[in-house]
């Protein structure tokens, strides 16, 4: 039953994605062109990348609000090291390592000290953004070699698929396999649904959570590298406020904020849905305001509508049961 | 039964130990330490104007924290406050453009009413729609901000659009205390007494510590949830009017990002995000502490780019120490009860 309703939501989302594509095509003939779709999907590559790790974190009933700040910090590190004359591959590795360290710090505070993740990551949201300013100040590093910026906004040779989105698809497939087909993945649901029972069942709850926060930091740093090359600009204030967008997409994807429920497919479909609606409205010059409202309504509706339907069903059944009794 | 209650009362710690253990006392001590430490290095920190600026800067956050605390006590959260502040600030400004003679109290009432309506939307979603508060208010954060964008449409309210009586209300003062600060103190005191000593107020604690027990005790949890969110919205709406009065200039982005600052202040002030624990005095002190820390950094001439990082580190330290201390005292309490 639970699986059926869950699958139902994912199918609904995928149908909505195609409806949005169709709607976009009706709005403008330019919408379904390869170049527009490339531009449009590249636009949400950072949100998509971070959404993968955020899905896992929310499934174990935690949250990471520091992702956008980690993105900014890794972008600043990348830019500062490049400006200092480091070879770019080495600077990328350093930026990723900084992200993993940031995630490790979150994870240690949460699992070793037992602090709530919401409180810890509100703190590190401020701290990591501040460190980004310490590293780079208000400078913008922009003169990256064309080879690397091409990784950011170029496409796979011979296809219209943006390179960051191709990278995202590879990682998404890995995440799906790990989450749904390995013991580790299944254990995340157990931990999210009931951490006490999971601990009694022999799962190393703290270690699993720690590894997920490291992963979250690493993915945010990867998104930071992508962001830097896509805009050809390393800045401390890159992607301010992105965290709420990522969380909105994951929750719209049917992942429960209370943990234990949800799937990568749903989250990915939701990222695409929001991105495509965004793109479709932009191409016909509908301003940001409508998109903001649409995102909010979709998010609320995704939980409210199934709740109301369930309520209506039980109400009808109860009335029918009552009616039967009266006839007897 | 009555004997048992009497026994726990006699074995309860006396007033002095309770006072020493209270979160508010440690916060106050920290506040004094930061304030006096900064003043020792730069005496100007305690000058009248700089204290006035400090309180004015903290006032709006402290006001929104009141509503957020009520919601947090019920184990919910209200992320939409920043959008309510923004929308209320702009619509109140537009009202002044349309009716330049509008009396100030009417503007405050308008903000309150608008906020209450927006907050009730959250309340209905959470109480009756059974949408988790984080999802519902993240959704309305977007919806209310979107409405704000649509209404503002690239425009802006400037101080020149506002009557002098309204702007004077923000800068005016009574016996040297700015009106804005006075108003916030009155609201804090009122709600502090209500939450501490009245049945309705205590019910918010009951709902947050154990909602099933609250239902058994005859509390209407849905109604409390609805009124709690309506109050949070109303207070945020009022804060929007004050935001307009304080800054004079308001565009579509007014107030954005405020929600995390407000939650941070409440959490530093000892309001638990797990519901049922916390006081308005603590939450207010939390807001004040964050405000004092950031202005102390400016006063001490911390290098510009280090300020945000230091602030983040201090915030994190405050959260960690606070949680650890409270956990330790909870453990001690439990041990005391067992023996």
- DSSP class per residue in B135-158: HHHHHHHHHHHHHHHHHHTT--B-
Nearest CA in chain B to A303: B131
Cβ pair B2, B260 in contact under 8 A:
no
Q: List the single range of A207-216, A243-252, B179-188, B317-326 with lowest mean pLDDT.
A: B317-326
C-alpha to C-alpha distance for B134 and B150, rounded to whole angstroms: 24
User: Which ipTM was obtained for this model?
Assistant: 0.82
The answer to whether A120 contacts B319, with C-beta atoms less than 8 Å apart, is yes
**Residue spans per domain, chain A:** 32-285
B137, two tokens: 């208010």
C-alpha to C-alpha distance for A261 and A255, rounded to whole angstroms: 6
- Res B226 pLDDT > 90: yes
**Cβ of B325 under 8 Å from any chain A Cβ?**
no
For residue range B285-319, what is the model confidence (pLDDT) as tens digits? Answer: 999 998 998 888 888 887 778 878 887 887 788 77
Residue A63's SS3 state is: coil
* Cα dihedral across residues A260, A105, B319, A134: positive or negative: negative
Region at B172 (left for phi over 0; alpha for psi -120 to 50; beta for the rest): beta
Tell me what the mean pLDDT of segment A178-202 comes to: 92
B234, two tokens: 């109303």
- Mention the CATH class of domain A32-285: mainly alpha
- Res B17 pLDDT > 70: no
**Cβ of B128 under 8 Å from any chain A Cβ?**
no
For residue range B269-289, what is the model confidence (pLDDT) as tens digits? Answer: 888 888 888 889 999 999 999
What was the pLDDT predicted at B338?
Answer: 57
What was the pLDDT predicted at B157?
Answer: 86
For residue range A90-100, what is the model confidence (pLDDT) as tens digits? Answer: 999 999 999 99
C-alpha to C-alpha distance for A117 and A120, rounded to whole angstroms: 5
Contacts of B84 (CB under 8 A, 6+ apart): B115, B118, B119, B144, B233, B236, B237, B240
Distance from CA of A240 to the nearest CA of B (A): 10
For residue range A27-86, what is the model confidence (pLDDT) as tens digits? Answer: 888 888 888 888 888 889 999 999 999 999 999 999 999 999 999 999 999 999 999 999
Residues of A in contact with B328 (CB under 8 A): none
Tell me what the mean pLDDT of segment B318-331 comes to: 72
What was the pLDDT predicted at B12?
Answer: 54
Tell me what the mean pLDDT of segment A294-305 comes to: 86
What was the pLDDT predicted at B15?
Answer: 64
- Which among A122, A128, A241 has CB closest to B264? A122
- Res B77 pLDDT > 80: yes
What was the pLDDT predicted at B84?
Answer: 97
Please name the residue that has the structure tokens 């591959």.
Answer: A89
Distance from CA of B317 to the nearest CA of A (A): 9
Nearest CA in chain A to B322: A115
- Res A199 pLDDT > 60: yes
Distance of CA B14 to the CA centre of its chain: 30
Mean pLDDT (chain B, rounded): 85
Q: Tell me if the pTM is above 0.95.
A: no
Work out the angle between the directed axes of helices A264-283 and A288-327 (0-180°, nearest 10).
Answer: 130
Q: List the single range of A266-280, B144-158, B217-231 with lowest mean pLDDT.
A: B144-158
Q: What number of other Cβ atoms are within 10 A of residue A181's Cβ?
A: 10
- Res B67 pLDDT > 50: yes
- Res B75 pLDDT > 80: yes
Distance from CA of B4 to the nearest CA of A (A): 32
- Res A230 pLDDT > 80: yes
What was the pLDDT predicted at B51?
Answer: 86
B58, two tokens: 């903290």
**Cβ of B306 under 8 Å from any chain A Cβ?**
yes
Cβ pair B90, B258 in contact under 8 A:
no
- Which among B139, B312, B313 has CB closest to A296? B139
- Res A322 pLDDT > 60: yes
Residues of A in contact with B310 (CB under 8 A): 130
- Res B337 pLDDT > 60: no
Report the b/e string of A182-221 with b at 16+ CB within 10 A. eeebebbbbbbbebeebeeeebebbebbbbbbbbbbbbbb
Reported confidence tier of residue A286, pLDDT bands at 50, 70, 90 = confident
- Which among B134, B138, B315 has CB closest to A123? B315
For residue range A130-187, what is the model confidence (pLDDT) as tens digits? Answer: 999 999 988 899 989 988 988 888 888 888 889 999 999 999 999 999 998 999 999 9
What was the pLDDT predicted at B8?
Answer: 42
- Res A328 pLDDT > 70: no
Q: Are strands B177-178 and B173-174 parallel, antiparallel or unpaired?
A: antiparallel
Residue A162, beta-bridge partner list: A155
What was the pLDDT predicted at A305?
Answer: 82
- Res B21 pLDDT > 70: no
Distance of CA A279 to the CA centre of its chain: 18
B124, B139, B326, best to mutate vs chain A, most A CBs in 10 Å: B139
C-alpha to C-alpha distance for B275 and B213, rounded to whole angstroms: 14
Distance from CA of B184 to the nearest CA of A (A): 25
What was the pLDDT predicted at A229?
Answer: 94
The answer to whether A127 contacts B315, with C-beta atoms less than 8 Å apart, is yes
**Cβ of B129 under 8 Å from any chain A Cβ?**
yes
What was the pLDDT predicted at A319?
Answer: 80
Q: List the single range of A112-121, A246-255, A306-315, B80-89 with lowest mean pLDDT.
A: A306-315
- Residue B226's nearest CA partner among B142, B143, B136 is B136
- Residue B321's nearest CA partner among B291, B287, B286, B292 is B286
Reported confidence tier of residue A325, pLDDT bands at 50, 70, 90 = low
A108-122, A202-216, B5-19, B152-166: which is most confident: A202-216
A301, two tokens: 């509706």
Region at A294 (left for phi over 0; alpha for psi -120 to 50; beta for the rest): alpha
Residue B174, beta-bridge partner list: B177
Tell me what the mean pLDDT of segment B213-242 comes to: 93
The answer to whether A293 contacts B324, with C-beta atoms less than 8 Å apart, is no
Nearest CA in chain A to B323: A115
Distance from CA of A158 to the nearest CA of B (A): 38
Mean pLDDT (chain A, rounded): 89
B335, two tokens: 């041990």
What was the pLDDT predicted at B45?
Answer: 86
The answer to whether B315 contacts A114, with C-beta atoms less than 8 Å apart, is no
What was the pLDDT predicted at B62?
Answer: 95
C-alpha to C-alpha distance for A100 and B19, rounded to whole angstroms: 42
A119, A120, A247, A297, best to mutate vs chain B, most B CBs in 10 Å: A119
Reported confidence tier of residue A127, pLDDT bands at 50, 70, 90 = very high
């Amino acid at each position: 039953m639970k699986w059926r309703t869950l699958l139902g939501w994912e199918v609904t989302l995928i149908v909505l994605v195609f409806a949005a594509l169709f709607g976009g095509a009706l709005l403008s003939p330019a919408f379904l062109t390869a170049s527009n779709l490339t531009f449009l999907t590249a636009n949400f590559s950072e949100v998509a990348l971070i959404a993968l790790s955020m899905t896992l974190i929310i499934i174990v009933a935690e949250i990471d609000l520091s992702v956008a700040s980690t993105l900014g910090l890794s972008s600043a590190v990348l830019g500062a090291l490049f400006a200092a004359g480091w070879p770019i591959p080495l600077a990328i590795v350093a930026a990723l390592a900084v992200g993993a360290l940031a995630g490790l710090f979150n994870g240690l505070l949460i699992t070793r000290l037992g602090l709530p993740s919401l409180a810890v990551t509100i703190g590190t949201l401020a701290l990591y953004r501040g460190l980004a300013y310490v590293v780079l100040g208000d400078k913008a590093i922009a003169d990256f070699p064309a080879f690397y910026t091409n990784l950011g906004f170029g496409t796979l040779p011979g296809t219209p698929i943006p390179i960051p989105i191709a990278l995202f698809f590879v990682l998404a497939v890995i995440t799906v396999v790990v989450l749904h087909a390995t013991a580790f993945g299944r254990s995340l649901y157990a931990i999210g649904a009931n951490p006490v029972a999971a601990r009694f069942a022999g799962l190393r709850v703290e270690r699993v959570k720690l590894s997920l926060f490291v992963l979250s930091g690493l993915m945010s740093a990867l998104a930071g590298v992508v962001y830097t090359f896509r805009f050809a600009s390393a800045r401390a204030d890159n992607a301010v406020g992105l965290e709420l967008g990522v969380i909105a997409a994951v929750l719209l994807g049917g992942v429960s904020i209370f943990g234990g429920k949800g799937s990568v497919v749903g989250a990915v479909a939701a990222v695409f849905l929001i991105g495509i609606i965004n793109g479709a409205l932009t191409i016909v010059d509908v301003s940001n305001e409508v998109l903001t409202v649409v995102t909010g309504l979709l998010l609320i509706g995704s939980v409210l509508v199934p709740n109301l339907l369930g309520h209506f069903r039980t109400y009808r059944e109860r009335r029918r049961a009552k009616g039967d009794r009266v006839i007897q | 039964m009555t004997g048992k209650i009497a026994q726990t009362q006699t074995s309860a710690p006396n007033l002095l130990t309770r006072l020493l253990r209270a979160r508010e006392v440690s916060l106050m001590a920290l506040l004094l330490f930061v304030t006096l430490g900064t003043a020792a290095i730069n005496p100007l920190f305690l000058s009248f104007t700089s204290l006035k600026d400090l309180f004015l800067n903290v006032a709006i956050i402290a006001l929104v924290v009141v509503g957020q605390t009520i919601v947090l006590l019920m184990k919910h959260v209200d992320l939409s406050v920043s959008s309510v502040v923004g929308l209320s600030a702009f619509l109140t400004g537009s009202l002044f453009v349309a009716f330049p003679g509008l009396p100030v109290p009417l503007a405050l009432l308008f903000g309150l009413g608008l906020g209450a309506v927006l907050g009730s939307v959250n309340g209905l979603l959470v109480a009756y729609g059974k949408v988790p508060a984080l999802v519902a208010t993240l959704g309305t954060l977007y919806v209310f901000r979107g409405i704000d964008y649509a209404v503002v449409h690239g425009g802006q309210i400037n101080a020149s659009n506002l009557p002098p009586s309204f702007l004077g209300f923000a800068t005016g003062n009574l016996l040297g205390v700015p009106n804005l600060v006075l108003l916030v103190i009155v609201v804090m005191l009122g709600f502090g007494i209500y939450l501490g000593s009245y049945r309705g107020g205590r019910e918010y604690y009951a709902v947050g510590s154990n909602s099933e027990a609250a239902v058994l005790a005859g509390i209407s949890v849905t109604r409390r949830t609805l009124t709690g969110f309506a109050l949070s919205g109303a207070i945020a709406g009022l804060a929007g009017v004050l935001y307009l009065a304080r800054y004079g200039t308001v565009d579509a982005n007014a107030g954005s990002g405020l929600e995390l600052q407000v939650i941070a202040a409440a959490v530093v002030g000892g309001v638990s995000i797990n519901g049922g624990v916390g006081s308005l005095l603590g939450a207010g002190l939390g807001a004040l502490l964050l405000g004092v820390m950031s202005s102390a950094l400016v006063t001490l001439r911390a290098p510009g780019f280090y300020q945000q990082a230091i602030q983040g580190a201090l915030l994190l330290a405050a959260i960690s120490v606070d949680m650890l201390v409270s956990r330790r005292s909870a453990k001690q309490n439990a041990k005391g009860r067992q023996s």
